[in-house]
Amino acid sequence: MNDRHPGFTEREGFPEGAQPGQPRGSIWRFHGDVDEPPRPDWLIVDTLPKVGVGLLGGQWGTFKTFVAVDLARATMTKTTFAGRQVARQGAVLFIAAEGANEFPLRLDGVGQDIAFAADAQAFDAARLPFAWAGECPRLAEPDACDKLIGDIEDGVAEMRERFGLPVALVIIDAMTSAAGFTNADNTSETARVMDALNRAAKAGDLFILVIDHMGKDEGKGMRNSSAKEDGVDAVLAIAATFEGGSARRVTNPRVAFRKVRGGKSGQEIGFSTRTVEFPPDAEGNRASTLVIQWNEAPVAPSEAPRRSAPNSFRYFRDAVSEAMGKSGVRITPIEGEGDVMCVSEHKVREEFLASYPGDTPESKGKAWRRALMDSRKYGVNIREINYHGQMTTFLWFSR
């Protein structure tokens, strides 16, 4: 028996010659020994920590990227996001693994719509402290963390030189394209990706937000492994009601604060979108974008309308995401527009036919052909490409 710990046997490896009561560098901290508990540092008060990782998830078409850009606006100007005060003003880096070519227009829209708070630095709306990149290290690879930290360090140095501001926020869009999973359902692979993100956030002393897709059952959280939500400090989920069949009209969009470590979770804040029109260019071409407008009052979860029954196109979008997570390849489908994550039509068709709830093979085939024909209208690009000497039809998301 051990006199120091009655009832316990002497443990193997106990330091030779150690006497009972001799300090051994205990790991334990006792209540009352610390005068004041550490207070959390926030990027957004009671919502997002100053340093950490979060997820912003939602189904296709729920304005995820526009909400992320609004978070960037609030961070740059130290105003509010979804009615919650930004505590740390800073610059923003956006890693757009999808849709990088759309950012100049979206930033112009934000620049036109910014209302600077009294304590916010008055930036030139044409030169916001915001930078984006069209590629991301494949986060599932062993050296991804070092590459990501290096890219962020480069952005931090340039932001300080140009604006005298620290980088407070890094946004990655989207998880599937950025991670490059071999198997998105593999818990250990997902945990490795989340660990890389957390280490990069700590190294940069900033917050990293990753845009992701919700699973088919929104109540179960983000698509694929639960290790995603387990490994982050905050989860923001965009919910909405879908109407209009294949046209997929989105109504009652809202952000649910699903997980807030150290803060209050469970609240939902509704929002709407407003169109910002730009003057025509020299050739008479017009352009527009959307900005987010937040409701003043929270929405009680019980008041949120139930989503309508799924339609064939939603299954098609889900099939593209599922197939991309399992069999996606990073290629350049359109010369000069950079690499994007693509997946072959054959793989998408397999996923669609396996998941679509049709009564017969004929009804499933009809739904597949209809979704494929209309896909370009809803943000899925299709193109036949010479891939390793063979003409193959690939699909990829335009945003």
Residue 37 domain flag? no
CB 66 within 8 A of CB 291: yes
Pair (152, 269) in one structural domain: yes
Query: Rounded to whole angstroms, what are the CA distances from 222 to 10, 45, 57, 329?
Result: 47, 24, 7, 22
In a domain, 7, yes or no: no
* Residue 61 near residue 105, CB atoms below 8 Å: no
What's the pLDDT score for residue 298? 57
Same structural domain for residues 60 and 189? yes
Does the N-terminal peptide bond of residue 120 adopt cis geometry, omega within 30 degrees of 0? Answer: no
End-to-end CA distance of the chain: 66
* Nearest C-alpha neighbor of 41 from the set 77, 90, 97: 90
Q: In the listed set 250, 284, 303, which residue is the last one of a domain according to the structure? A: 303
Q: Assess whether 184 and 93 both reside in one domain.
A: yes
Query: Between vectors from CA 139 to CA 332 and to CA 90, what angle results, nearest 5°?
Result: 95
Q: Are residues 258 and 341 in the same domain?
A: no
DSSP string, 166-205: -EEEEEEE-HHHHH--S-TT-HHHHHHHHHHHHHHHHHHT
Task: Please list, in sequence order, all residues whose beta carbon lies within 8 angstroms of the beta carbon of residue 28, skipping any fewer than 6 positions away.
Answer: none
CA distance 173 to 169: 13
Domain end position, chosen among 271, 303, 335 = 303
CATH number at residue 129: 3.40.50.300
Question: Given 303, 335, 356, which residue is the final one in a domain?
Answer: 303
* Sign of the CA dihedral running 276, 88, 54, 131: positive
| Separation between Cα atoms, residue 71 and residue 88, nearest integer Å | 12
Whether 105 and 203 share a structural domain: yes
* Domain CATH code at residue 366: 3.30.420
pLDDT of 37 reads 56
In DSSP notation, 35-48 reads SSPPPPPEEETTTE
Query: What is the DSSP code string of 293-337?
Result: EEEEEEEPGGGSPPPPPP-HHHHHHHHHHHHHHHH-EEE-SSTTS
Write the Ramachandran bin of 17: left for phi over 0, alpha for psi from -120 to 50, otherwise beta.
Answer: left
Indicate whether 85 and 112 sit together in one domain: yes
pTM: 0.67
The residues that bridge with 42 in the sheet, in sequence order, are: 49
DSSP code at position 248: -
56: tokens are: 């912003």
Q: Are residues 120 and 89 in contact, defined by beta-carbon separation less than 8 angstroms? A: yes
Residue 36 belongs to a domain:
no
* 99 lies in some domain: yes
Residue 8 falls inside a structural domain: no
Tokens 């986060």 sit at which residue?
139
pLDDT attached to residue 282: 80
DSSP 98: S
Q: Are residues 259 and 393 in the same domain?
A: no
CA distance 326 to 180: 9
Q: Say if residue 332 is in the same domain as residue 261.
A: no
66 occurs within a structural domain = yes
What's the pLDDT score for residue 98?
67
Residues 239 and 96 reside in one and the same domain? yes
Cα separation values, 44 from 161, 204, 210, 234, 266, Å: 25, 17, 16, 11, 16
Under DSSP, is residue 393 helix (H, G, I), strand (E, B) or coil? strand
pLDDT at 306: 40
> Angle at which helices 312-327 and 361-374 pack, to 10 degrees?
80
Residues 89, 48 share a domain: yes
One domain for residues 295 and 365 = no
Are residue 162 and residue 94 in the same domain, yes or no? Answer: yes
What's 33's DSSP letter?
Answer: S
30 lies in a domain? Answer: no
- Hey, what are 3's tokens? 């006199």
In a domain, 215, yes or no: yes
- Domain extent for 316: 312-397
Q: How many domains are there within the chain?
A: 2
Burial status of residue 16 (CB atoms within 10 A of its CB: 0-12, 13-18, 19 or more): exposed
Are 91 and 165 in contact, with CB atoms under 8 Å apart?
A: yes
Q: What is the pLDDT along the chain (399 residues), one digit of tens a residue?
A: 455 555 545 554 545 555 555 556 678 877 777 665 566 789 999 899 999 999 999 888 889 999 999 999 999 988 899 989 999 999 999 998 766 667 778 888 877 766 444 344 556 777 889 999 988 888 888 888 999 999 999 999 999 999 999 999 999 987 878 888 877 677 888 888 889 999 999 999 999 999 998 765 555 556 565 667 888 999 999 988 876 554 567 788 899 998 888 777 778 899 988 888 888 878 888 888 888 989 865 555 444 444 433 467 777 877 887 787 778 888 888 776 667 778 899 999 998 888 888 778 888 888 888 888 877 766 788 888 888 888 899 988 764
